Chain A
Amino acid sequence: MSEKLLEIKNLKTSFRIKDDYFAAVDDLSLSVNKNEVLAVVGESGCGKSALAFSVMGLHTRAKIDGNIMFKDRDIAHMSPSELNKLRGKEMGMIFQDPLTSLNPLMEVGEQIGETLFLHNKALSKEKRKEKIIDLLNKVGIPRPETVFNQFPHELSGGMRQRVMIAMAIANEPELLIADEPTTALDVTIQSQILELINELKDDMDAGIILITHDLGVVAEMADRVAVMYAGQIVEIADVHTLFENPKHPYTRSLLNSVPNANEAQDKLHVIQGIVPALQNLPREGCRFKARIPWIEDSAHEEHPELHEISPGHFVRCTCYKDFDFPESEEEKHGVS
């Protein structure tokens, strides 16, 4: 049974550069259901973290247009004090870098306790400690009683990330945003953390937005996948469709450029050019056009829209119909 938990409508997050505002997330709409992992994939600079920060209301200096409906309340334009009642309680976030996002001067127990205290002041100190130890146990930290009184620098990277997760889930949030939760970690620890997030999803019936650039992680974790490029969603589908039948040139290029441990490849695919800087984003026409120059102009739409090509599978622009990888280097520079 899927129930809508979060619905983002026409979100536009713009940052000021000199005297102009530039949209890092540009007219983006998506929804997250309960007990679902939605993965947002893209390269650095595509706006995936800006999206996460917008939902949590952490971009205080950005201009935010559009609506973010969380359980039928619009949180996009809430005041910070109202937001604070939600953040850490109904919405939790796991940040990318556990070393910089934990307070180095606070003991682990105290840091986790803070979230508990702020949302439930009636809880006694003893009860709180009990709960923190429970949480530390739940995220798989050995010797929780010792760790309770330790500082972040005394823990390894994987342990710190677990502490972050314990903080995020302390009040059993309904929506959990994980911004590259395993990027800084080794593979064996990564697989443990992902396993943990999966268990939490089933336990708490939570909706999870998993932001990552690692397609392997997506394949293991996601129910649905949204691929972002230059502030827009270029393709969205359930995970099986996306990996078996990717349509958008960007999705296909990304999938082709991953060195696969299970298959030998001669040459990896390289996407031409670079992700343009925020000020230089092409705002007209297909944003991916400049990176597939061998595709004729007429293949692109003038105002690319998301087209539903099968139920739940949306692709932006029509260029996917004519897209194929170039066979030779010369062809790459193709039609000009």
Chain B
Amino acid sequence: MAFLDVENLKVHFPIKGGIFGRTVDHVRAVDGVSLSLEKGTTYGLVGESGSGKTTTGRAIIGLNNITSGKVTFEGKDITNLRRARADFRKDVQMIFQDPYSSLNPKKRVIDIVAEPLRNYENLSKKEERKRVQELMELVGLSPESILKYPHEFSGGQRQRIGIARAIALKPKLIIADEPVSALDVSVQAQVLNFMQDIQKELDLTYLFIGHDLGVIKHMCDKIGIMYKGRYVEEGTASDIFDDPQHIYTKRLVAAIPDIDPKKRDEQRQFRQEVKAEYEQSYNDYFDDEGLAYPLQSISDTHKVALPEKG
């Protein structure tokens, strides 16, 4: 039994039209996604903007309504949150993308970090303060700064306040939605190192959503690539980066800028080849509507969306 199981998840948003505002069609933001996470690992969900990766994360935690499909967490069905056990929300937390807009600017750090504690644990003021100070220390911020406001911190520090809030209730799963996209490289390094440290310390499981393939490769054990609400490929980091099978994955991997200026021309040529291949074989990899086919296993860990042979 996997730690988190998502089966054939669909999230469709209605498009309203006409004078009566009737639903005329649906945007299929997530269209049949299945994934499973093992405890203590990091799963990377990659895709371009609009591919449905964030919607998938939000649907799992319950911020978007699920149209159909099933989400199981530690063997219990949590698809419909109202019927789910109450402490699910305690066990699954989220780190948001933008550290500037995900912290309430009118609240002090102590109130931001203590909010989940106030919801789930009856602590006295003194205990609460102590817990918040411990959390601040854990994320590498000074415990004295709990009375400050978010604007008094830098971007990396804010993101760590967001992390302190996320780990306040000792969750088991953290959904990190592009946690470092808004940060500078050196700050990004700080946050990534820190996420790895607390993962070991607290035995956390991450669902890491991102579009920076360098970061994803650095962090993740298993990776899923999404395109237009569907999976095009899933596998371990080496499956995806060393042996990409789907043309979309190939193109994505080829587009990563290489940090070695000597390989510039080589890289450019390679990219052109992949682009040509992409244009040529587009119809082999996508169906009539431009969507990906269902996944098929090509090895124990590696799955690719290919048309059925026949």
A and B co-occur in one complex: yes
Binding site for B on A (CB under 8 A): 43-44, 157, 186-191, 194-195, 213-217, 219-220, 222, 239-240, 243, 253-255, 257-262, 264-265, 267-271, 274-275
Q: Mark B229-267, 1 if CB is under 8 A from A, else 0.
A: 000000000000100000000011111111111101001
A265 touches B218 (CB 8 A): yes
Question: Is B273 part of the binding interface, using a Cβ–Cβ cutoff of 8 Å?
Answer: no
| B189 partner, pick from A188, A189, A220, A270, beta carbons under 8 A | A270
Complex: A157 Cα to B50 Cα, angstroms: 11
Which single residue of chain B is at the shortest CB-CB distance from A223?
Answer: B261
User: In the complex, how many angstroms separate the beta carbon of B87 from the nearest chain A beta carbon?
Assistant: 34
Q: A190-B255, A216-B256, A261-B256 are in contact. Are A271 and B186 (CB under 8 A)?
A: yes
**Could you show 24 A-B contacts with beta carbons less than 8 Å apart?**
A43-B186, A44-B155, A187-B255, A189-B48, A190-B255, A191-B255, A195-B268, A213-B185, A216-B257, A216-B259, A219-B259, A219-B264, A220-B258, A222-B261, A253-B186, A255-B259, A257-B185, A259-B219, A261-B256, A262-B259, A264-B218, A268-B193, A270-B190, A274-B157
Binding site for A on B (CB under 8 A): 48-49, 154-157, 184-190, 192-193, 196, 211-215, 217-219, 241, 251-262, 264, 267-268, 271
- Across the interface, which residues of A come within 8 angstroms of B255, CB to CB? 187-188, 190-191
- Across the interface, which residues of A come within 8 angstroms of B219, CB to CB? 259
- Across the interface, which residues of B come within 8 angstroms of A267, CB to CB? 193, 196
Complex: A157 Cα to B49 Cα, angstroms: 9
Pair count A-B, CB < 8 A? 113
A274 touches B156 (CB 8 A): yes
Which single residue of chain B is at the shortest CB-CB distance from A187?
Answer: B255
- Across the interface, which residues of A come within 8 angstroms of B215, CB to CB? 259
B252 touches A268 (CB 8 A): no
A261 touches B217 (CB 8 A): yes
A262 touches B193 (CB 8 A): no
A215 touches B262 (CB 8 A): no
B264 touches A220 (CB 8 A): yes
Q: A260-B214, A270-B193 are in contact. Are A191 and B258 (CB under 8 A)?
A: no
Complex: A261 Cα to B252 Cα, angstroms: 12
Complex: A240 Cα to B262 Cα, angstroms: 7
Q: A259-B218, A261-B214 are in contact. Are A219 and B185 (CB under 8 A)?
A: no
- Across the interface, which residues of A come within 8 angstroms of B211, CB to CB? 186-187
Complex: A253 Cα to B251 Cα, angstroms: 30
- Across the interface, which residues of B come within 8 angstroms of A157, CB to CB? 49
| B261 partner, pick from A243, A254, A270, beta carbons under 8 A | A243
| A188 partner, pick from B186, B218, B251, beta carbons under 8 A | B251
| A43 partner, pick from B49, B184, B262, beta carbons under 8 A | B184
Apart from A219-B261, A240-B261, A259-B214, list 6 A-B contacts with CB within 8 A. A187-B257, A215-B185, A219-B260, A220-B261, A258-B189, A259-B215
